[in-house]
Each structure stands twice: as C-alpha cells, then as structure tokens.
Amino acid sequence: MRKIFYAILVAMPLIFASCDNVDDDEKLVYPQGQTSQQTAITDTNSIQRVLLEDYTGWKCVNCPRAAVVASNLLNKYKDSLVVMAVHCGSFATPNVANGNVNFSTEYGEKWCKDFGITSFPAGLINRTKGSSGYYIANNDWESKVTEEMVKTHLMDINLGVAYRSQTNKILVSTQNVFLQDVSFPTLINVVVVESGLVGVQANENSTYGTTPLIKDYVFNHVLRKNGLVDYSLSSLAVSKGTKLNKNYLLSVDSDIKNINNCKVIVFVTNANTKEVVQVNEIAIK
C-alpha cells in the first residue's frame, strides 16, 4: 500500500502539468522560495520581449561603452527589451579602489562560466548560441535583438509584485500563458535588479590602478543576490492555452540601497538549450 501511495505522489506533478490552469495552491509541498501567498497580477501586456544580459565589471575599461549601447537600445525598443547587468569575473572583484563594493552574485558567476564568457564586455541575447558561442560583442547587440523580436511568440509572463516591509520580502506572482504548443521542458528564473547605484568605474581613458577613474559612475540594472534560478516551470510538453500560475517569495538582498529603484525580472528558458523563451519585468512599489 505504501508503494502505491508513493507512486501516486510522484505522478501528481505530471498530472498538473497537463492541466489548462495550474495554481500553486493545488500543491502540497513547495520548493524553497515558492509559496501559496499571492498578489494581484497587474502586468498583462502580450508582447514578445527580449532579454539582454550585459556581462560587466567595474575594472573593465570598455564596459561603460557597452552600457551606453544597452541604454540606447532600451530607449528605442522600450517595453520589448529587458536589460540585466551581470557583474562577474575578475573585472568585478572589489578592492579598496572602488570602496570594496561588490556587485557580483553566485549565480552571475556561474552563468559567466556556463556561457564561456572570458572577455568583457560581453552580451547574451536571449541566451541563443551562435557559431562562435553564446556571447556577442556590443556592436552586434542591436541586430541580434531585432532578430529575436520577430521569432514565434510562444508565451506570455503576466506579473504582480508586492514588497512587504515588515518582513523585508518580495512577493512575486506569475501567470505563465502558453500561446503555442511547447514540446520542451521549461525553467523559470526570478531575480531582482537595481538601478541608480553610484560608484567607481574604470573607463577607456584610464588603466585600472591609475587615475583617473570615474568616481561618480551610475550603475543601472545591476543583478542582485537572493534570486531564484532554474526552478522547474513544466517538466513536460505544454499545450497551447495552458496557464501555469506560480508564486515566489524573495528575501531582499541586504546590499540593496533603495528598494524603489528595483525591478523584478522573470524569464523562462528552454531547459534543454538554455535559450530564453520569454521575459518580463515589473517595478517594485
């Protein structure tokens, strides 16, 4: 009898994945970070978005130029583009010259290695892999972004967010709507980025370790700690019209300077290829 009961429990997630509307409150046990708590879904725009990951570091003299490219692309494509600045590698290592400010994260360092990033600045566009690898020089970012925007619109990520100051937690509710049949397993990522951070940055007119350094450089879209990375969205193929509802509770990174300058980015990837299927972001209020 115990073996039969165990088999039923194991099979339950597979049954849920085939339903048209799956709510978190139907589950008995949640992975760490998931919750039955919910907040209202407020962002329901149905557009194909592209994720640009800017791999950078304060010691990188060419990285400010790449940040300008990302900013110009945001101004041009607006809500269709989401930017995440991932500080990692030796160029992000803090020391006395930058006041020991550390913008790196554990998962940012892992991504840097996983995607073979060895020179900076480097960009990932929807984590698509080309003939020479995943990362792309900033001169080619726009052409790749426009290429990704016209791909088949497979799904939408509708979002709601609530900051709970009493517990210093961020509640994120997601409604993942599949607009087409999807034959591959999917993973979901929920992270926080912060803008308006003032600090030290090397630039093209200086060599690290000498002056001048930019002392009042403004860092935007900085990836912060305490995100939830590579959580299972569906382990099975998903049919058109399916809605998968998930709720997440994130602890606020103690390094965050101003919660009002933060956004939550949620992106879904193909678990087999790592490619980003859809992305969305929402400001924390």
What CATH number is attached to the domain comprising 234?
A: 2.60.40.10
23 DSSP assignment: -
| For helices 63-77 and 141-149, angle between their N-to-C axes, nearest 10 degrees | 30
Average pLDDT score over residue span 213-225: 96
Report the 10 Å Cβ neighbour count for 67. Answer: 21
Question: Please, which pLDDT band fits residue 9 given cuts at 50, 70 and 90?
Answer: very low
- Residue 8 has what pLDDT? 37
| Residue 6, domain extent | 2-283
pLDDT at 18 over 50: no
Amino acid at 236: L
Q: Give per-residue pLDDT as tens, 155-200.
A: 999 999 999 999 999 999 999 999 999 999 999 999 999 999 999 9
Q: Does the pLDDT of residue 211 top 50, yes or no?
A: yes
d(CA 180, CA 284) in angstroms, rounded, equals 30
The number of domains in the chain is 1
**Each residue's pLDDT tens digit, 116-155:** 999 999 999 999 998 889 999 999 999 999 999 999 999 9
Q: What band does 203 get if pLDDT is binned at 50, 70 and 90?
A: confident
What is residue 159's three-state secondary structure? strand
Quick one: which of 281, 109, 51, 275 has its CA closest to 185?
275
Model pTM above 0.85: yes
Place of tokens 């030290």: 200
Interstrand relation of 186-194 and 262-270 (parallel, antiparallel or unpaired)? antiparallel
Q: What is the pLDDT of residues 66-88, one digit of tens each?
A: 999 999 999 999 999 999 999 99
